[in-house]
């Protein structure tokens, strides 16, 4: 791991009076996998949206390789090419088949040759086990398949950073694994990723660093071992407790009957 | 077989006249449709603006046109223009004006609906792939909006063709008026002609509108 690729300094994001991200600073190194966890409404998704210039920010700065990421800036689409984002609701383009969904951006935005990108697309599809679905339309695919296609669509742009915004939250449990395995594979490959998820086992497996976001701030951060085994703050203990279940030990009044 | 009085159609140029009436009806509706598509796009884009004044104005326009029966609109334009403005416009021109006003309002609402029906996330995921604003509209938003728009606008066009049957009330001789004339002229010799002639009018409207419905069904099946 070497230099910082993404530098967030004193980021502030407000919706009218409501402060969602409150003076947040974070530096992401090349090849690092950061998992962001936190209760709902803590600003996780908003943070990712800011990093991709989908939200205007009220203070601080976000820099990708030293270049500012700003929604209002003229070259924002150029910067977004270097940041891949996968959404909870897949957002494949319903009027295009799988292959056209994947080819649109490299062909129209990067002006790459269709034949060459097609070969690459097929290789990537094979890797996620969907090369037989290249000509299918999104409506013919399951949620897990759609999400893997959405990941391929982001990958083909060769982004420097990948953002995953609760990509399994809308999936049936049996489809979660097929998507998360693709992401694990990308982590092994050394991709720089920021992942928002509620899957704690997955977070433990994939993360180099875990961040607990609360009230728009980094409340606690550390390696998965530190975070899951020795949480430092009361907030993170409470957060982790919310994933375990236990029956209350009540006296069974009818035991003797 | 009951006597439908169909023989009146073969008297003189009756059938050709009936077809001429249909041509007038189609002429009024198709000119209006062409105008409505152009202005409907403009109205629709205006309707999707966030500016409250623009929204209120376009909303008023749509509601007024929708609430007012087409026949009342025809009377207002045809008689009102002479009374209030002192100009004399023909029934056909009045009809085109009314149908264009109506069509533009309805088409505008369809365009607005189609644009709004493309989810905000579609814009975002196109943006996240590095597509600029123009490319996002060109490759992602407009193709989806058009797919939703076409079946509904064909429905509107069919309604506009059918509603031209009202323009006989302002003296335009279209297919229904010709039919009435033929029936009246043959009241003594073929008292049953009303059945046959109106049946033929029905068939003519059907022939004019059905291909549009088929076209729309085909597109819907293709784009499902």
| CB A37 within 8 Å of CB A210 | yes
pLDDT, tens digit, for every residue of A59-82?
999 999 988 898 888 888 889 999
Nearest residue, CB atoms, A81 vs list B121, B130, B147: B130
Mean pLDDT of B185-196: 86
Q: HSE (CB half, 13 Å, CA atoms) of B201?
A: 25
Q: Which residues of A touch B131 (CB under 8 A)?
A: 77, 104-105, 108-109
Are A80 and B129 in contact (CB < 8 Å)? yes
Domain that holds residue B168: 6-223
The number of folded domains in chain B is 1
Q: Which of A53, A94, A109 sits opposite B129 (nearest CB)?
A: A109
| Residues of A engaging B, defined by a Cβ cutoff of 8 Å | 52-54, 77-78, 80-81, 83-85, 87, 89, 91, 93-95, 104-105, 108-110, 150, 153-154, 157
Is 80 exceeded by the pLDDT of residue B16?
yes
Residue A255 scores a pLDDT above 70: no
For tokens 């990958």, the residue is A155
Per-residue pLDDT tens digits for B104-155: 999 999 999 998 888 888 999 999 999 988 899 899 998 999 888 988 899 9
Contact A165, A45 (CB under 8 A): yes
> How far, in Å, CA of A6 to CA of A27, rounded?
6
Residue B1 inside a domain? The answer is: no
Query: Helix or strand or coil: residue A189?
Result: helix
Name the closest residue on chain B to residue A52, using Cα atoms. B128
The pLDDT assigned to A1 comes to 44
Can you give the pLDDT at residue B3?
A: 78
Closest-CA distance, A237 to chain B, in angstroms, reads 34
| B64: in domain | yes
Instruction: Give the pair of three-digit tokens for residue B155.
Output: 């429905």
Cβ distance of A95 and B130 shorter than 8 Å: no
Nearest CA in chain B to A156: B129
Give the CB-side neighbour count of residue B80, counting CA atoms within 13 A.
Answer: 10
How far does CA A14 lie from the centroid of its chain?
A: 21
Work out the percent of chain A whose per-residue pLDDT is above 70.
96
Say which residue the tokens 């990712």 belong to.
Answer: A48
The residue in chain B having the minimum alpha-carbon distance to the alpha carbon of residue A159 is B129
Residue B87 or A179, more confident? A179
User: Does residue B125 sit within a domain?
Assistant: yes
A95/B135 touch (CB, cutoff 8 Å), yes or no: no
Question: What is the Cα–Cα distance from A33 to A190, expressed in whole angstroms?
Answer: 8
Q: B191: domain CATH number? A: 1.10.3720.10
- Identify the pLDDT of residue A151: 95
- A196 three-class SS: strand
Q: State whether residue A25 is helix, strand or coil.
A: strand
Residue B108 lies in a domain: yes
ipTM: 0.82
What pTM value is reported for the model? 0.77
Question: Å from A247 to nearest chain B CA?
Answer: 41
Q: What is the pLDDT of residue B37?
A: 93
Chain A hits for B139, CB-CB cut-off 8 Å, are 93, 104, 108
For the cut 90, the answer to whether the pLDDT of residue B83 exceeds it is no
For chain A, say whether B127 makes contact (Cβ under 8 Å): yes
């Amino acid at each position: 791991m070497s230099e910082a690729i993404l530098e967030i300094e004193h980021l502030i994001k407000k919706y009218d009076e409501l402060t969602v991200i409150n003076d947040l600073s974070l530096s992401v190194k090349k090849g690092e996998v950061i998992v962001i966890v936190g209760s709902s409404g803590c600003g996780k998704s908003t943070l990712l949206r800011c990093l991709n210039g989908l939200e205007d920010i009220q203070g601080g700065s976000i820099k990708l390789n030293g270049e500012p990421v700003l929604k209002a800036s003229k070259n924002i689409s150029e910067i977004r090419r270097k940041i891949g984002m996968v959404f909870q609701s897949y957002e494949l383009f319903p009027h295009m088949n799988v292959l056209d969904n994947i080819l649109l951006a490299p062909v129209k935005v990067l002006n790459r040759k269709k034949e060459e990108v097609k070969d690459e697309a097929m290789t990537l599809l094979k890797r996620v086990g969907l090369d037989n679905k290249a000509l299918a339309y999104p409506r013919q695919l399951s949620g897990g398949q759609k999400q893997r296609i959405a990941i391929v669509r982001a990958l083909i742009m060769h982004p420097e950073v990948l953002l995953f915004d609760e990509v399994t939250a809308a999936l049936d449990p049996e489809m979660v694994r097929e998507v998360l395995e693709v992401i694990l594979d990308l982590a092994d490959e050394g991709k720089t990723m920021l992942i928002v998820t509620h899957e704690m086992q997955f977070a433990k497996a994939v993360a180099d660093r875990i961040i607990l976001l609360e009230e728009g701030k980094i409340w606690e951060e550390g390696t998965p071992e530190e975070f899951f085994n020795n949480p430092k703050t009361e907030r993170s203990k409470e957060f982790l407790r919310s994933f375990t279940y236990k029956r209350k030990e009540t006296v069974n009044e009818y035991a003797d009957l | 077989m009951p006597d439908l009085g169909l023989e009146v159609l073969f008297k003189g140029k009756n059938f050709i006249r009936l077809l001429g009436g249909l041509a007038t009806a189609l002429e009024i509706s198709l000119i209006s449709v062409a105008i409505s598509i152009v202005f409907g796009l403009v109205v629709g884009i205006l309707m999707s603006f966030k500016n409250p004044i623009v929204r209120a104005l376009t909303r008023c326009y749509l509601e007024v046109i929708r609430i007012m029966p087409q026949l009342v609109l025809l009377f207002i334009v045809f008689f009102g223009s002479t009374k209030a403005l002192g100009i004399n416009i023909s029934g056909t021109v009045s009809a085109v004006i009314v149908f264009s006003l109506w069509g533009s309002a309805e088409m505008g609402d369809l365009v607005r609906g189609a644009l709004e029906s493309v989810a905000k996330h579609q814009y975002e995921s196109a943006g996240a792939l590095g597509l600029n604003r123009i490319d996002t509209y060109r490759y992602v938003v407009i193709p989806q909006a058009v797919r939703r728009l076409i079946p509904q606008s064909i429905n509107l066009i069919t309604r506009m063709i059918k509603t031209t049957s009202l323009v006989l009330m302002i003296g335009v001789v279209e297919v229904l008026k010709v039919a009435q004339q033929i029936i009246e002229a043959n009241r003594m010799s073929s008292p049953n002609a009303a059945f046959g002639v109106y049946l033929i009018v029905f068939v003519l409207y059907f022939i004019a509108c059905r291909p549009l419905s088929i076209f729309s069904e085909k597109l819907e099946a293709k784009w499902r």
